Structure 1
Amino acid sequence: MNCTRLLLFVTFLLAGLAASAQTTHRVVKGMVRDSTGLLLPGASVRLVIAHDTLSTITHDDGSFDIPHVTGSRFSMLVYMMSYAGFKQDYSFPEKDSVVLVGTIILQPNVHQLKAVTVKGAAMAVSFHGDTVEYSTAAYPVRAGSSVGEVVKRLPGVDVDHSGKVTAQGKEITRIRVNGKDFFGTDVNKALKNLPADIIDKLQVIDDYGDAANLSGVKTGVPQKIINLTLKPDKQNGAFGNATLAGGTSGRYLGAMNVNRFKGERQLSVVGDFNNTNAAAFSFGDNGGISGSDGSTLSHSAGINYRDQFSKKLMGYGSYSYSDSKSLVTGVTAQQTIDASYVNINNQNNSSAATNKSHNLNYNLEYKIDTLNFLKISPNLSWNNGDAGSVSQFHIEQNNLYPIKISDGTTNSVNTTKSPSVNGTILYNHRFLKKGRNLNITATYSRTDSKSLQDTRTLTHIGYVDSVDLDTSLHQQVNSNNGNNNVMARLSYTAPIDTFSLLEFNYSFNSASSNTLRETWNIDPAAVKTRVDSQSNRYNYLFITQRLSLNYNLKLKKHNITVGLTGQPLVLSGTSTHPDFSTRKTAFNFIPTARYTYNFNNSEAFSMNYNGSSSQPGFMQLMPVTDLSNPQYPVVGNPNLKPEFTQSVGLQYRRFDMKKGNTFFININGSTTGNRIVNNIINDSAHLSQMSNTVIQETRYLNTNGAYMANGYYSYAQPFFNRKFTTTLTGGVSYNNNISYTNDLRQLGRNWVWSQGARLRVNLPDLIEAELSGTYVNNRTLYSTPGGYNSTTHSIVLELYGKNYIGKHFIVGYNGSKSINSGYSSGVGVNPLVVNLYLECQLLNGNKAAIRLQGFDLFNENTGVYHTVIGPVITDTRNNRLSRYFLLSFSYRLQQFGF
């Protein structure tokens, strides 16, 4: 049966048939021992067919099996530390589905034994200080899969439907290839466009920044990053893929990426255009459930280039361009809890936005000599956006007499332009005495933004026992804002003995802002009148300095850093309306501590304590009324103090090499002094234009008593050589929120508890599938009398998988069923979203594919959200892409060794 006939046949049966297949691909099996007969677990095994390579490592019993082998001729390469490599060519009859290569004997490498200390067999997961390292060979995927498919299999790592990647509960912020940034902070571009079979190791790293990596003294809050190390035989070659697709409802998609790697010289070019809410598309992508609200048309292109210009100079960076148009419609139900009333706001919303952006980042690393290192990192960006929204609202104030009701419409149009430039210079000098180091870092950034906002509000006000009123307001707001940030840091480390050192560091940070905001009222005859009471020119400056002394002790199993930081800070500002100036000063003593204990290469514990200050935002400080949303005006407070947050984090992680299970647990907590919170005032008498409407005015003040704590765990247990893997994940968070309504303090205790479980099945040439379920309980208890509490429950069941039919056909499916309760009436829904596809793979090595996909077959795709911020509870339901079908053609190219 040819591809066309089978595509038509399965199209009519997809919803009702369970795929089944006989294994027709080859599975190559064998055993690895040394010359004494000792079994060798952890040996690397590679099978080369034409220009494709399949890899794995031997199991605990020294055996290995490599699925998805399509050719009758291949080369086998086996190697392991302390042994000479093994290479042999094989040829077997076409009809054999299982190929037994027997026992492969590795001979000792005498020369290597003299120079290398054997540390043991390679593990699927290992720990190295702040790094969790995964061997990609231990998580095999089908030929042609992207790195993203490997990431989904890693214990402790999660990928949601929007492509967001989290590791041990924290978001991954960037991807590196062989230690250098790949497309800056665009994680999806790397995971979707790099093929899995070129990656040897994948490392999840707690990154404390370049200065910490050079000095070895790590303090502060790290970022989670992923570093991909390439296989030695994949350092030179070209690879890429391209996809074109068209479908019903006018849906279309096109994407391509081309990569040329030659040692340290790496060039990658990507581009895509689509109206399917996909940022990018890659060969082998399953066509997942869209997790983006609304519908978006987007175009983007990017280039990433890296080169070793000389032995001393390396450069790497990327440029990307994107433009998008989006449309989102939805409903919102919002409650504001107060001791004397509940303010209910139901809205129907529609918003459209266009955005264009350019981003350029580059890094130059110059190794002046063996002791001196210089890194220069300039970055440029430019964004231009237009956004329009229409909101129909119905607001009621209950428990007040007479009950006041406002019905109205707000139309808003906003245009913004925001160019930005920043750059960092890092210089490091390593003294001749081991451990003595000097690091100087300086950063400057400038961001300018201009916006024009036009807002029209028509309101109808009704009372239970009085006449109705109609009011209207048409305003334009022009804003010009310039922000400058200057940072300088000096760090000096000196050894005390072989195991310990002292670090002295000083940092200076200056953040300044200059803003002009003008508000105009426009009458029905289009006459503009400047509103002086809502216009202002405001300047503010926030300066912080940190003077720290840290002690670091590094032993075989222990790594300890303790220190003390003094932090003086100054916040000052001036305003033309009202005419005033303010100046606030403070001084904080901040103890710092970081401790890591490595039980062994597969078990570690770490603890980190840190403190930091943050300044109020401009809109929080500006002492004028912002009527961008007339029903919810905002008034700043120029007397706000900076916040000071203390945080502590604990982490434990373990991998059992014998059983193959992994366990991660994180516990974090923080408390914030002078927390900036909202004070919601139910009083609009001073707003003459809207004096009779239902208005909640937001003001700001500082308070104490806010703190939070959260915990996350992940446990994964594989069975039968990772053919089956069960994973349990869970978390709990508690936020002790402080807020004010009508100047009265209110406590909101918010608990969020979640538990998830999933089963992954990976049977070569038959099925790859994952079944998962997650339960989330979100509960908020208010100190306000009257029982105004909130509890929601959410259950999400998901099935994701592929069934293989013969050598060239794949049936893929994913589905999600949400069961929600406790949401506001008219918002909570329980969507069932099902996607199916049939793929026919073509050409030698399955380099091409034709795919027919059906998305959201039951036409129920919807986004539902529940948020609690202080006394405000918000339930939102937004539209998402609904049912459509897509026919696509993909082609993949890989050629290495040149």
Structure 2
Amino acid sequence: MNRILFLLLFFCTTLSYGQSAITGQVLDKGENKPLMNASVILLSAQDSILKVFTRTNEQGNFTIPQLERGSYRVLITYPKFELFSDLITVEDAKIDLHDIKISSRAHVLEEVVITQKLPIKIKGDTIEYNAGSFETEKNAKLEDLLRRLPGMTVSSDGTITAQGKTVSKVLIDGEEFFGYDPKIAIRNVRADAIDKVQVYEKKSDEAELTGVDDGVRIKTVNVVLKEEARKGIFGNANAAIGTKGLFDAALFAAKFNKAERIGLTGNWNNMGGENDSRIRSNSSIQGKPEYKNIGVNYDNVFLKKRLSLNSSYNFSNNSSSNERESYSKEVFPYKTRETTGSSASDDDTKNNHFRTQVRFKIDSIQNLDVQFNAGKSNSQSTSTSNRSITNNDTTLTNTFKERNNSKGNNDNADFRINYRRRLNNNGRSLNAQFNTQLSQNKSIAQVNSTTNYYRENLVDSVVLDQQRVNSSTNNRIGASLNLNEKLFQDLYLTLGYTMNTNISKSLNNSYNGDGFGEYKTLDSLYSKNEENRNFNQGANIQINYNLKDKINVNISNTISYKNQKLIDTYRDLDLKRNFWDNNLNMNINYKLTLNKNLMVSYSTSNKIPTFGQLQSLQPLTNPLFIQLGNPNLKKSTENSYNFNFNSFSILRSSSFNINAGISTTHNPIANKRVLDTLGVTTSNYENIKDKINWSARVYSGYSKPLFNNLLQFNPNANLSYGNSYDFINGELNNSKNYNANIGFGLNKQNSKVIDFNFFTNIGIDRQETLLKPELNNNSLRTNLNTDIKYFLPYKFDLVQVVNYGYTGKNKVFTKAIHQFYMNLELNKKLMSNNLQLSLKAFDIFKTFNTINRSFDSSNFSESQQQLLTQYFMVGLKWDFNKNLGKKND
């Protein structure tokens, strides 16, 4: 018994010596105050089994006594604060962790932008969306994803708008994919293959090649693919037939193998190139069209990624026939003129286009960029038109009837080479560029027209029977040399010289017929023989300042000396002029915080009168229109001021954008038209001295998730104002335009029960005209568009598209236009959802309104054309995907 008692006492003593205690204090890092009731958790480092749980006292202190030696993980949590985690090894009798400071999540989230995949990031002037944060349906395309991104919209025809501006370029991993048509990318690249979507203002191709900012900005979307999506085969094929003999067939296939990308696209339909059988579109078919298209795109890198190649070829054949009726009313100070007309056309155009770009990294200090584009087109057309013109609503002034048959072809090619070399390690570099362009046009037209002039009881007729043979050539050569120098740590200077010369020739011979089918007599009034020569050279300077990636300032100025000459032997023209021209651009980008960015810019340039505006008499096109020129015309000066602010709140998952701009034109050039008593319009150009045309606009958009991210709410507002001067029948007029628009969008896409996109807006347009104040009017317009997808049992779904538009009446058109249509599509998924059978119905109530209306300060017009709006189609679509976007086990 004593032996057992001794062993037990020895064991307890040994155990007490093998245990330790841990102490510490938990504090708020921001305010350095103790955190009471913070949870302190101790886990085994080997198997994460809970060992101890305790809480801190009022002073933020905690103690964990009698702990065995070994490795542990300490976790400390507190509501709305970051998680503290640390790995400790217990060996001594007592361990003091001292002060453990943790941060509030309000501060942590702002820093997470760097390390975590948040829905939206702002990097300088770039907004970056994390594609994985926006849910889309299986087999969804980039277009479907873009519709989900805050601040972005995609119209029914595929036009992308970002922060109120139209997107002109869509890039895939920084490269153009089927560059001749960006819609191919958004309608075919799979949404599940996308990692990020970046939206920014891209500099012009010219500025990127030369390194000299020309002030031109192109709204651009760059799609960054997932790493696993850079290898695989994907695409889709669809075919549909419908009532009225309609058909639509399309194929897209692509093979990605890391840097190598091959794409093939083809389309054939009799619904028009843009009006295929997409359910979101109004899909009204104009006339009787037929469209054929085939294209291929190839991207790859060679020589260990030193050489990259991007090229594409496209062939299209677009033919159509159509009929149109039109009505317009011109309001002059002392009279009105009404024109009613009808026209019919039959056109056929074939286009071939090839483009390629090669970038070669010669070595560590030299780069070469080569671009080549070439195109060839052939066209033929037949058209007829009839017009009658009355003055003051009652008096018939003249009638005009014309028939035109023409054939033509165009060949063009341009070549550009850009060489860059780094001269030292301090930022000095040299940039040299050479470019040339050649084009040639030829056409022949047969024109027959009859013009009747009505004066009291007399009728004068002018009959025109001509064969017009046209040919033109254009040859342009340009070069530039720029030296970039790093002056200080964050300051860069660019000095450069540029030169270009352009020679264009245009020969238009119009021969009058003799009534027996022969055309030999040249009509000088309808002919010209021009040669236009331009030689420009200039110097540029650019300063770029970049302060710690917070502030970027860019100032560039180009001053040019221009020498121009125009000769026309038919009209005894010999015009010459030499002058200086200047272009200034300034841009400031300020990164306020990780999620806020501000950009302001200013540019000024001159609008130089063309020789077409300067020459005293231009060739006639028809007896009712005479275009004159003004040799005394002066240049006008344009100034532009722009502002853009982007913000994203991580805590609210909301974004805000506001952009605004003001532009002014000093000494503006206006077209001065005068209508005589016979209905003949004489047009000339004049400077409006001591007057300024100016306009202003502001757009604001906000995005916020609602109901725990179930809905995305996107309100926006747009205001614009324009004050301009023009001429109405030879008299100076001042026009003012006010536009206000407010709207919002709601969308839901989680592929459960119901998905929808909803957008509506309402706007007011006001127009004021100085010479005719009685025509000042306010016009209301509104639009509502929604597409709803219902997910039904047995892999069925139903898509419903509803569109309503309203255009209010004005002082000339006293009836408002109501536009309403509804489309339906019933789908059945087959073969593991990769094959889809569809039944589509367009304009099911046959309510589509075919009237188009437009107006400006003095001209109000309406037109109607031959449209097919109601029809039905049945089709099959197959989506295929091998490995693309699928991670390996």
User: After alignment, is 485-494 or 810-819 more displaced?
Assistant: 485-494
User: In the aligned structure 1, how far is the partner of 2:646 from the partner of 2:386?
Assistant: 50
Q: Say whether 1:537 aligns with 2:522.
A: no
Match of 1:835 among 803, 808, 823: 823
* 1:812 maps to which of 785, 799, 806: 799
1:305: which partner in 2? 298
Among 346, 350, 355, the alignment partner of 2:344 is 350
- 2:868 is paired with a residue whose SS is coil
| Paired residues for 1:768-779 under 5 Å | 768-779=755-766
Kept in 2, the 8 Å contact 1:359–1:382? The answer is yes
Q: Which among 584, 589, 592 is matched to residue 577 of structure 2?
A: 584
Whole-angstrom CA distance in 2 between matches of 1:562 and 1:327: 51
Say if 1:330 and 1:217 are closer, same or farther in 2 by CA, change over 3 A.
same
Aligned position for 1:424: 416
Aligned residue number for residue 317 of structure 1: 311
Other structure's SS at 1:722 match: coil
* Offset, 1:293: 4.7
Q: Is the deviation greater in 705-714 or in 632-641?
A: 632-641
**1:840 partner amino acid:** K
**Which of the numbers 447, 458, 462 marks the counterpart of 1:455?**
447
Aligned match for 1:728, one of 701, 715, 719: 715
**1:191 alignment partner AA:** I
Instruction: Report the counterpart of residue 759 of structure 1 in structure 2.
Output: 746
1:614: how far off? Answer: 4.8
| Pair 829,159 (structure 1): closer, same or farther in 2 beyond 3 Å | same
Identify the range of structure 1 (350-359 vs 536-545) with the bigger mean alpha-carbon deviation.
536-545
1:696 and 2:681 matched: yes
1:671 aligns with 2:664: yes
CA distance in 2, matches of 1:767, 1:219: 48
The alpha-carbon deviation at position 744 of structure 1 amounts to 3.0
Structure 1 position 495, deviation (Å)? 1.3
Instruction: Look up the match of 1:648.
Output: 641
CA distance in 1, matches of 2:477, 2:368: 19
Using the TM superposition, give the Cα deviation of residue 782 of structure 1 relative to its aligned residue in structure 2, in angstroms: 1.9
Matched-pair contact (CA < 8 Å) for 1:538–1:622? no
Task: Find the structure with the greater CA-based Rg.
Answer: 2
| Residue equivalent to 2:587 | 594
Paired residue secondary structure (2:774): coil
Q: Per-residue deviation at 1:538?
A: 1.2
Q: Measure how far apart 1:291 and its partner are.
A: 6.7
Q: Deviation of residue 763 (structure 1)? A: 4.4
CA distance in 2, matches of 1:741, 1:756: 35
Find the aligned partners of 2:591 and 2:423 in 1 and give their Cα distance. Answer: 29
Shift of 1:852: 0.4
* Bigger shift: residues 163-172 or 850-859: 163-172
Kept in 2: contact 1:671–1:708 (CA 8 A)? yes
Greater displacement, 868-877 / 602-611: 868-877
- The partner residue of 1:481 within 472, 475, 480 is 472
Q: What is the CA-CA distance between 1:268 and the residue it aligns to?
A: 0.5
Partner AA of 1:833 in structure 2: Y
Alignment of 1:841-856 (within 5 A): 841-844=829-832, 846-856=833-843
* 1:880–1:187 CA distance, 2 compared to 1 (3 A): farther
**Letter of the 1:657 counterpart:** I
Quote how far apart the aligned CAs of 1:394 are.
Answer: 2.5
- Aligned counterpart, 2:402: 410
Secondary structure of the structure 2 residue equivalent to 1:787: helix
Query: How far apart, CA to CA, are the structure 2 residues paired with 1:667 and 1:444?
Result: 37
1:389 equivalenced with 2:395 (yes/no): no
Q: Distance in 2 between matches of 1:670 and 1:183?
A: 34
Partner Cα separation in structure 1 for residue 476 and residue 610 of structure 2: 14
Aligned length: 777
Whether the aligned pair in 1 keeps the contact of 2:808 and 2:815 (CA below 8 Å) is: no
Corresponding letter in the other structure for 1:731: N
SS of 1:432 mapped into structure 2: coil
Q: Go from structure 1 to structure 2 and tell me whether the alpha carbon gap of 1:118 and 1:852 turns closer, same or farther (over 3 Å shift).
A: closer
Aligned equivalents of 2:116, 2:276: Cα separation in 1: 37
Q: Is the 8 A contact 1:738 1:870 kept in 2?
A: no
Question: Structure 1 residue 599: deviation in Å?
Answer: 1.4
Q: What is the RMSD computed on CA atoms of the aligned residues?
A: 3.1
What is the match of residue 570 of structure 1? 563
1:196 — aligned with what? Answer: 191
Offset of 1:568 from its aligned partner? 2.7
**Corresponding residue of 1:780:** 767
Distance 1:591 1:214, change over 3 A: closer
Q: Distance in 2 between matches of 1:810 and 1:788?
A: 51
TM-score, structure 1 as length reference:
0.81
Which amino acid in structure 1 is aligned with residue 428 of structure 2?
R
Cα offset, 1:304, TM superposition: 0.5
User: Residue 488 of structure 2 corresponds to which residue in structure 1?
Assistant: 497
Contact residue 584 and residue 641 of structure 1 kept, 8 A: no
Provide closer, same or farther for how the CA distance between residues 127 and 293 of structure 1 changes in structure 2, counting only shifts above 3 A.
farther
Give the secondary structure class of the aligned counterpart of 1:163: coil
What SS does the aligned partner of 1:149 have?
A: helix
Aligned residue type for 1:342: T
Provide closer, same or farther for how the CA distance between residues 641 and 424 of structure 1 changes in structure 2, counting only shifts above 3 A: farther
Residues in 2 aligned to 1:802 and 1:452: alpha-carbon distance in whole angstroms: 52
Q: Which residue does 1:738 correspond to in 2?
A: 725
Distance across 1 between alignment mates of 2:301 and 2:115: 34
Deviation at 1:642, TM superposition (A): 5.0
Check conservation: 1:255, 1:280, Cα contact below 8 A.
no
* Counterpart Cα distance in 1 of 2:285 and 2:647: 35
CA distance in 1, matches of 2:587, 2:861: 38
Q: What residue is the counterpart of 1:100 in the other structure? A: none
Counterparts of 1:608 and 1:356, CA distance in 2: 42
Residue equivalent to 2:508? 517
Q: CA–CA distance in 1 between the matches of 2:284 and 2:488?
A: 54
Measure how far apart 1:625 and its partner are.
Answer: 4.4
Runs of 5+ in structure 2 lacking a partner?
1-44, 51-78, 87-110
Q: Would the aligned equivalents of 1:291 and 1:863 in 2 still touch at CA under 8 Å?
A: no
CA shift in 2, pair 1:328/1:757, >3 Å = farther
User: Secondary structure, in 3 states, of the residue corresponding to 2:771?
Assistant: coil
After TM superposition, list the pairs within 5 Å mapping 1:14-53 onto structure 2: none
Per the alignment, do residues 117 and 734 of structure 1 end up closer, same or farther by CA in structure 2, a change over 3 Å counting?
closer
What residue is the counterpart of 2:696 in the other structure? 709
| Distance of aligned partners of 1:211 and 1:324 in 2 relative to their CA distance in 1, 3 Å threshold | closer
> Which of 259, 264, 278 does residue 264 from structure 1 map onto?
259
> Helix, strand or coil for the counterpart of 1:888?
strand
**Identity between Structure 1 and Structure 2 (%):** 23
Post-superposition shift, 1:644? 4.0
Q: Is the 8 A contact 1:161 1:291 kept in 2?
A: no
Shift of 1:257: 0.9
Deviations 1:608-630 (A, max 9, x none): 22233455556545544444343
Correspondence 1:245 to 2:240: yes
Distance 1:291 1:725, change over 3 A: farther
Asked whether 1:331 is paired with 2:322, we answer no
SS of equivalent to 1:830: strand
Shift of 1:822: 2.5
Q: 1:707 to 1:36 in 2, by over 3 A?
A: farther
Q: Is the 8 A contact 1:221 1:610 kept in 2?
A: no
Residue 550, structure 1, aligned to residue 542, structure 2: yes
Higher relative contact order (CA 8 A, sep 6+): 1
| Alpha-carbon distance in structure 2 between the residues aligned to 1:767 and 1:445 | 54
Which deviates more, 158-167 or 597-606? 158-167
> 2:752, 2:240 → 1: CA distance?
26
Any idea what SS the aligned residue of 2:136 has?
coil
SS of match in other structure, 2:185:
helix
Aligned to 1:229: 224
Any unmatched runs of 5+ in structure 1? 1-33, 38-60, 63-81, 84-115, 684-691
The structural deviation recorded for 1:308 is 1.1
Inter-partner Cα distance in structure 1 for 2:816 and 2:772? 27
Superposed CA deviations along residues 447-481 of structure 1, whole A, max 9, x for unmatched, are 22223333333344446x53455543333332212
Q: Does 1:126 align with 2:121?
A: yes
